[in-house]
A and B are shown apart, each in its own frame.
Chain A
C-alpha cells in the first residue's frame, strides 16, 4: 500500500471565480528569471505545440520532442469537424454556463466541475487566439465567423474550417512553434521517441529519448516535463487514430509512479466507414458534423435487399429521430453508437457485410442544393468516395461505430500536474475534463485550452520553488539507470526472433479488446479478456519477430515497443472496466442499463475518479479514489429525448 492522497487542488470560491482566484494565487516567475528554467515538452500535437510555443514566448527554455518528422503531422491534424466555444455568436442561448453544463452532462457526470467550467471560460479566448494567428475559419457572407452544431448540444457553437479544422488549428500552433524555434527559444527534436521518464527523489527530472534515425538513446534533463502525447485508442488496433498514435509515453510515466485515471473510458464514435475486409489497417471517421445534415436510418424490414434509393420513406426507420425526438440525429456519441449497434445486432444492418447503417444526405441536398453540401463537407465526401468507391451525393453513406478517443489518461490536478511533482500532462493524454464521454468538438478545445492558456499559467507555481537550482545532470545514476533499461528493452525485442510479426500481436490484442471491452462490456467478457491478455503478452515476448538492427530507422522495432506497452495497458483498461460496476458515458456494462437500454449510473458508489497505481506487470494495480463533488450541477439521469 502506498500513501498517495489525491489532492485535486481545486480553488475555493464560486465556480465562475475559481480560475481568476487561482491565477492570482499561483506563484509567478518573473520574466528575467524564466530564462533560467528548462522545460521538456513531449509531443507537438495541438496540446504540445501550443504549450511549447507559449512557454517559449514567455521566455522559458523549451525542448520539444516528437516522433513525427514534422510537428505538423501529429494526429491532431486529422480532426475534421470543429472546435467548440461559448461565444454565443448565434444568439441562440449559449453561454459559458451552458457549455459547462453540456460538457458535464455529456460526460455523464464523471468530470470535475471546476476543470470543466474553466474549459468553457477559456474556450472563447481560444477562438480569438486562433483567428489572430490566421486560422481560416469558415465565414458568413458579412465576413463574420460561422458556426455549426455538434452532438449533445442544442445551440450552434462549433467553429470550423471546412472538414479540416484540426489541420488548420494545428498549423496555427505549429507556425507559432516554428517562430519560437527560429528565435531560438525552443529547440525541436524530430523523429525522437521518449521511452522513459526519469524520476529522482520523487520528482520528474527528465526523459530518456531514442533517436529513431540513428537508434541513439540519450537523456535530457529539465526543471519540469510536460507530456502531450495524445490518446491510446490504438490499443484496439482498429481505430480512427493515426497509425502511430500510442500510449508509450504515458505508460512509461505510469510505471514510474504517475497514476492512470479512468482508463476504461473510451469513446466509440458512431459515424465511421465500416470495415471492408480483414486487411483493414485503420478505420476512417466521417465527422460528426455530418449529422447536422445527414439522417441516420435502416430499412424497417429485415433483409430488405433493395438499393437505398428504392426504399420508400414509409419503409425506412429513422431510429435516432424516432427514439430521441429532442436531439434527433445529434444525440451524443455514446448514445448514437449504442443505438446503431442495436440495429445492426438485430439484423437490420446494410451493405455487403451487413455491418452498417445509412447516413443519408438526400433531404439536405434537395433542400440546400448540392453545392452547399459540397462546401460544407466536400473533403469528407471525397474521402468517403476514395475509400468505398461509392458517391455519397447519390448513394447514402454507410457508417458504423469505431474506437475514436480516450477520455481516460494520466491523473492530473487543477494545475494539470500529475501526482509526480514536475510532471504535467495535457491534451488527450490526461484524464481531466471530458468525464465518461467527450462531446464532439471538445477535444480540440481542451488541447488548446491546456496548451495556450492553462499550463503556461500554472507551471510557474511549481517552477518558482526551484529558482536557483540547476536541472539534475544527465550523468546522475537516475538517468544512467533509466537509459540502461531502455537499451535493454530495445535489445530484448530484437533478440526474440520468433515467428510472428508485431502487427499479428497487435491485431490479436485489438480483437480481444473490441470483443470484450468495446461498446458493451460485461463481467464475463471482461474476465475473459483479463485471462487472455497476459497469455498474449507472454507469447509476444516469446515469439515476436523484429528484423533489422537498432542503429538505423527500424519501424518494426518502434512498433514493437509500442505494442508491448499496449499489452500491459490493455489489462489495466479491463481491470478498471470490471471494477466500475455501473454504466456511464462510453463505459457500458450490460448489467447496468435502464429499461430502454440507456446507461445506468450508480452515483452513490461510483461518483469518483478511479486512479490506478502501477505495481508491476501482471500484478494487480492499486486503486485510489478522488471523489467527485457536485456543488453546482444536479446529478440526473441523462436524457436526450
Chain B
C-alpha cells in the first residue's frame, strides 16, 4: 500500500519547526506503524536527509516510550493501543497521515517527535511509592489482600507512563496519570500508612507542571491501557480528605 505522510520536524527544543511531506510507495499492511517509520528513515538516509527522531524501545506496548499524535489522535485511531502496536492494516491504501509530537506545556520537544516527559517522574519522586526499605518486609502472605482490591490496584498500575493522557487533554492535565499512580498504591492495604501524605504530595507536584482537569474525558479515550477516569474521582476524594487528615496528624504531633 501507499501512504502520504506529513511529519513534524524540529531540530531542537528552541528551534522553529514545521511539517515535511513524504511519500512511501511500498508499505505492507502487516507492518507496524513504527516499522513504517523505520522504512521512511531508511529512505531519508539514502537520500542524504536526517532521519526522523522518535522514542521507542519495547515495541510491544509496555515501556511507554513511544507516542505521537497521529491524525490528531494520541497513539492514532485504534482504541487501547500504543503507537508501536498500531499496524498499517488500520489505514487505507493511499491514506494521508499527519504525525506530530505530544503537545503539552509540560512536555518540551527535544527533536522532531521526541519530547521530554521528565515531569511525570517528578510526580513519582514526590510521593509515588510505599516506604519499605529493602529487608524490612514482613512475610508476603501475612497480609491478605482481597482479590478485588488487588485487581483494581492492578488496573491502575497498568499505566505505562506514555503521556498520551496529557497530550490528549485540551488543558494539558496529568490527572489520569497521577490518579492511576495514586490509586495503584492507595487502594492496597500496604499503601494505607502514607495514603494521605502521598496523594497530597503527588497532586501538589502535578499542579506545578500540568494544567487543570475540567473533565473532558479525552484522556481515557486516548489511554493505550484504557485506564478508567473513575480513578480521578478517587484521587480527588483522597485529596480532599488529605486536607483534613494531614492537618490533624500534624496538629497531633505538634
Report chain A residues within 8 Å CB of B32: 281, 387
Let me know if A117 is at the binding interface, CB within 8 A.
Answer: no
Q: How far is the CB of B123 from chain A (nearest CB, A)?
A: 9
Q: How far is the CB of B121 from chain A (nearest CB, A)?
A: 5
Q: Please, what's the 1-or-0 string for A49-86, where 1 marks a CB less than 8 Å from any CB in chain B?
A: 01001100100000000001111111101100000000
Report chain B residues within 8 Å CB of A387: 32, 85, 87
Partner of A164, one of B62, B80, B146: B62
Q: How far is the CB of A146 from chain B (nearest CB, A)?
A: 9
Let me know if B250 is at the binding interface, CB within 8 A.
Answer: no
Size class of the contact patch on chain A: 35 or more
A136:B150 contact, CB within 8 angstroms? yes
B140:A143 contact, CB within 8 angstroms? no
Report chain A residues within 8 Å CB of B85: 383, 386-387
- Say whether, besides A242-B58, A279-B39, A282-B59, A68 and B137 are in contact (CB < 8 Å): no
A178:B63 contact, CB within 8 angstroms? no
Report chain A residues within 8 Å CB of B143: 131
Q: How far is the CB of B57 from chain A (nearest CB, A)?
A: 4
Residue of A nearest to B81 (CB): A386
Within 8 A of B (CB), among A272-297: 276-277, 279-282, 284-285
A136:B188 contact, CB within 8 angstroms? yes
Q: How far is the CA of A133 from the CA of B130 in the complex (A)?
A: 5
Partner of A176, one of B80, B121, B132, B191: B132
Within 8 A of B (CB), among A223-259: 242-244
B57:A175 contact, CB within 8 angstroms? no
B57:A244 contact, CB within 8 angstroms? yes
Let me know if A548 is at the binding interface, CB within 8 A.
Answer: yes
B147:A132 contact, CB within 8 angstroms? no
B58:A132 contact, CB within 8 angstroms? no
Residue of B nearest to A502 (CB): B45
Partner of B134, one of A54, A167, A383, A552: A54
Report chain A residues within 8 Å CB of B55: 69
B125:A136 contact, CB within 8 angstroms? no
A69:B42 contact, CB within 8 angstroms? no
Let me know if A162 is at the binding interface, CB within 8 A.
Answer: yes
Let me know if B89 is at the binding interface, CB within 8 A.
Answer: yes
Count: A-B pairs, CB below 8 Å: 217
B114:A553 contact, CB within 8 angstroms? yes
Within 8 A of A (CB), among B113-138: 114, 116-118, 120-121, 124-126, 128-138
A132:B65 contact, CB within 8 angstroms? no
Q: How far is the CB of A475 from chain B (nearest CB, A)?
A: 30
Report chain A residues within 8 Å CB of B233: none
Let me know if B9 is at the binding interface, CB within 8 A.
Answer: no
B31:A77 contact, CB within 8 angstroms? no
Let me know if A459 is at the binding interface, CB within 8 A.
Answer: no
Let me know if B77 is at the binding interface, CB within 8 A.
Answer: no
Let me know if B164 is at the binding interface, CB within 8 A.
Answer: no
Residue of B nearest to A69 (CB): B117
Partner of A133, one of B49, B58, B129: B129
Report chain A residues within 8 Å CB of B70: none
A277:B118 contact, CB within 8 angstroms? no
Report chain B residues within 8 Å CB of A171: 157, 184
Partner of A242, one of B57, B89, B144: B57
Let me know if B111 is at the binding interface, CB within 8 A.
Answer: yes
- Say whether, besides A389-B89, A552-B12, A552-B111, A284 and B129 are in contact (CB < 8 Å): no
Q: How far is the CA of A78 from the CA of B134 in the complex (A)?
A: 23
Within 8 A of B (CB), among A358-414: 382-383, 386-387, 389
Partner of A281, one of B38, B81, B121: B38
Let me know if B34 is at the binding interface, CB within 8 A.
Answer: yes
Report chain B residues within 8 Å CB of A53: 134
B146:A128 contact, CB within 8 angstroms? no
B137:A134 contact, CB within 8 angstroms? no
B161:A78 contact, CB within 8 angstroms? no
Within 8 A of A (CB), among B76-94: 78, 80-81, 85-87, 89
Q: How far is the CA of A547 from the CA of B161 in the complex (A)?
A: 31
Report chain A residues within 8 Å CB of B147: 139-141, 143
Q: How far is the CB of B126 from chain A (nearest CB, A)?
A: 7
Within 8 A of B (CB), among A453-483: 453, 456
Q: Please, what's the 1-or-0 string for B31-62, where 1 marks a CB less than 8 Å from any CB in chain A?
A: 11011001101100110111101011111111
Let me know if B28 is at the binding interface, CB within 8 A.
Answer: yes
Q: Please, what's the 1-or-0 string for A202-216, where 1 marks a CB less than 8 Å from any CB in chain B?
A: 000000000001000
Report chain A residues within 8 Å CB of B253: none
Residue of B nearest to A555 (CB): B53
Let me know if A161 is at the binding interface, CB within 8 A.
Answer: yes
Let me know if A614 is at the binding interface, CB within 8 A.
Answer: no
Residue of B nearest to A456 (CB): B134
> Beyond A179-B131, A452-B134: 4 further Cβ-contacts under 8 Å?
A69-B65, A70-B161, A161-B157, A387-B32
* A-B contacts, 27 listed (Cβ < 8 Å): A54-B133, A69-B117, A73-B65, A77-B62, A87-B140, A125-B137, A128-B137, A132-B130, A136-B157, A139-B144, A140-B147, A143-B145, A145-B140, A162-B158, A164-B158, A174-B124, A176-B133, A176-B134, A242-B63, A276-B28, A277-B30, A285-B60, A453-B134, A504-B42, A547-B51, A552-B111, A555-B53
User: Nearest 4 CB-CB pairs, A to B?
Assistant: A143-B144, A132-B137, A175-B129, A132-B132
